[in-house]
Amino acid sequence: MLKRVALAIWVLGALGGWVWTGAVTAAEAPKAYVGLFKDDAVAVIDTVQNKVLTTIPVPKGPHGLVMTPDGRKVYVSSDGAATVSVIDTASDRVVTSIDVGTNPHGLAISGDGSRVLVSGWGSNQAQVINTATDRVIGTVPVAQPHNGTLSRDGRIGWVASQKQGATALVRLDLTSWKEVARVPLDKTPRGLELSPDGRRIFFTLAGVDAIQVLDTASNQIVAQIPVGASPHYAPFTPDGRWALAVVQGPGELGILNTANNTLAGTVAVGKTPHWSASSSDGRTAFVTDEGSNDVSVVDLANRTVTATIAVGNAPRKIAVQPVSGTAATTPATERTNTARSEKGKSLTIAGVSYANHGTKDVRNLSKLELEADDYYFSPTFLRGRPGQKLTLLVESEASTLHNISISSLGIDKDIPPKGKVQFEVTFPASGVLAFTCKFHGPLGMNGQLLTGESAPIGAR
Ligand SMILES: [Cu+2]
């Protein structure tokens, strides 16, 4: 409607002998869509003014989020439900809901916009939605697929299968609807993306501080690019020259040179960055900071953060509308640095951070339920007697794979999403014993067993 009014003004102006200069209005600024995992909503950002325009309620736990290349539709999967919601970006409303089976995780869209790949973690299948009809047109069985990526035409898909004991990248033929290749992995795959030319996949593994480069002709890992602790996802810029790695531990965006597989530079962003997206002109990156509840806007030429936008709770996936018209040459420069919300809960002891969810006296207990979540243990510190035996039931409500390791006791157990593990620990004769999630230790997911009156101290 606004465009039609603008056109009418332009026509009248041209007839009247003056030329309308076509200044960008707020309504024409590309919008970014951000899934707020803990708010059950999608925030809509105006990328010129760098502010939230509105939030759109969606079913519980928005997990995957992609946009059609024309910027008209956004698909959002809800991990806590069994649906993919379709948002019309003209009205910013959910216009369709597609049933996809329980606990859908990541979404991917083909470069031509024709197909959306759903990683059906709970339904153990990859599904494909035709974006013309918004119906599921095919499925392939895959155990616990977490995230995926599609070729430009949507006929080849890759998914990260997180089935413990059988973790792998799995190649799918989406015309014959079959698994056609499998790259077994000894660690759990997280985020992955095909290069624009389809020749490589950049992906991450839980507990490995390097971006993995897979050659899709040989199905071999041909390079590993060291970055900081806990990289999550490294998507390509539209021209394929760079990949933009979110690195959760240090809270930075790693800019990877894809010509020689090196880390070209880093930019400090917010806490626990989760995902990144490029503007269609490749000048700007938008990074969701799950731990600081904001989005960092990064100027890729200057490698600086130009804005930090508070968006709501636990921002995860993000997609941005294409830049068009004069907006393409008007990079956002407005600075709206918002104060980060520090919870004041993080404790650092001897260089190890602890997301502190309290101390529990367990001296009179034989069993304790310990909660594992994104990204902490609760309680964080357990106070016991020298030599006390305690059964720990570690339960997770999260949709992320976690782990609990106590190296000196030889304990190393993965905790499946929404799952639990149980084992016995023995408190040391004195001092403290550290435990950690081996995937998320750098994010503060650590704790300690304290003997007697010991205070938390540095521990290995
Ligand atoms: Cu963890």
Output the CA 375–ligand 1 centroid distance in Å.
Answer: 6
336 by Cβ neighbours in 10 Å (0-12 / 13-18 / 19+) ranks as: middle
401 by Cβ neighbours in 10 Å (0-12 / 13-18 / 19+) ranks as: buried
Output the CA 109–ligand 1 centroid distance in Å.
Answer: 28
Output the CA 448–ligand 1 centroid distance in Å.
Answer: 15
Predicted pLDDT at 459 = 64
Neighbouring residues of 364: CB distance < 8 A, sequence distance ≥ 6: none
Q: Which of 337, 285, 292, 336 is closest to 314 using CA atoms?
A: 292
Predicted pLDDT at 441 = 86
Output the CA 438–ligand 1 centroid distance in Å.
Answer: 7
Output the CA 436–ligand 1 centroid distance in Å.
Answer: 8
Output the CA 255–ligand 1 centroid distance in Å.
Answer: 25
Q: Which of 192, 232, 239 is closest to 208 using CA atoms?
A: 232
**Residue-level length of the chain:** 460
Q: With H, G, I as helix, E, B as strand and everything else as coil, classify residue 245.
A: strand
Predicted pLDDT at 359 = 93
Output the CA 40–ligand 1 centroid distance in Å.
Answer: 22
Query: Whole-angstrom Cα distance, residue 29 to residue 32?
Result: 10
Output the CA 247–ligand 1 centroid distance in Å.
Answer: 15
- Retrieve residue 401's tokens: 């794979």
Predicted pLDDT at 142 = 97
- Retrieve residue 166's tokens: 């059988």
Give the residues across from 55 on adjacent strands.
43
Output the CA 189–ligand 1 centroid distance in Å.
Answer: 14
Output the CA 278–ligand 1 centroid distance in Å.
Answer: 28
351 by Cβ neighbours in 10 Å (0-12 / 13-18 / 19+) ranks as: exposed
> One-letter amino acid identity for 356?
N
Output the CA 440–ligand 1 centroid distance in Å.
Answer: 4
Predicted pLDDT at 341 = 32
Contact predicate 148/192, CB 8 Å: yes
Predicted pLDDT at 28 = 72
Name the one residue in this structure whose structure tokens are 């413990």. Answer: 164
Output the CA 452–ligand 1 centroid distance in Å.
Answer: 27
Output the CA 374–ligand 1 centroid distance in Å.
Answer: 7
Output the CA 218–ligand 1 centroid distance in Å.
Answer: 32
Contact predicate 118/104, CB 8 Å: yes
Output the CA 299–ligand 1 centroid distance in Å.
Answer: 31
Output the CA 333–ligand 1 centroid distance in Å.
Answer: 36
Output the CA 416–ligand 1 centroid distance in Å.
Answer: 10
Per-residue pLDDT of the chain (460 residues), as tens digits, is 444 444 444 444 444 334 443 333 444 799 999 999 999 999 999 999 999 999 999 999 999 999 999 999 999 999 999 999 999 999 999 999 999 999 999 999 999 999 999 999 999 999 999 999 999 999 999 999 999 999 999 999 999 999 999 999 999 999 999 999 999 999 999 999 999 999 999 999 999 999 999 999 999 999 999 999 999 999 999 999 999 999 999 999 999 999 999 999 999 999 999 999 999 999 999 999 999 999 999 999 999 999 999 999 999 999 999 987 433 333 333 333 333 333 447 888 888 889 999 999 999 999 999 999 988 999 999 999 999 999 999 999 888 889 999 988 899 999 988 899 999 999 999 889 999 998 888 788 999 999 988 888 876 4
Predicted pLDDT at 26 = 40
Predicted pLDDT at 15 = 42
Output the CA 404–ligand 1 centroid distance in Å.
Answer: 8
Query: Whole-angstrom Cα distance, residue 171 to residue 179?
Result: 6
> Which of the 8 DSSP states describes residue 407?
G
Output the CA 185–ligand 1 centroid distance in Å.
Answer: 19
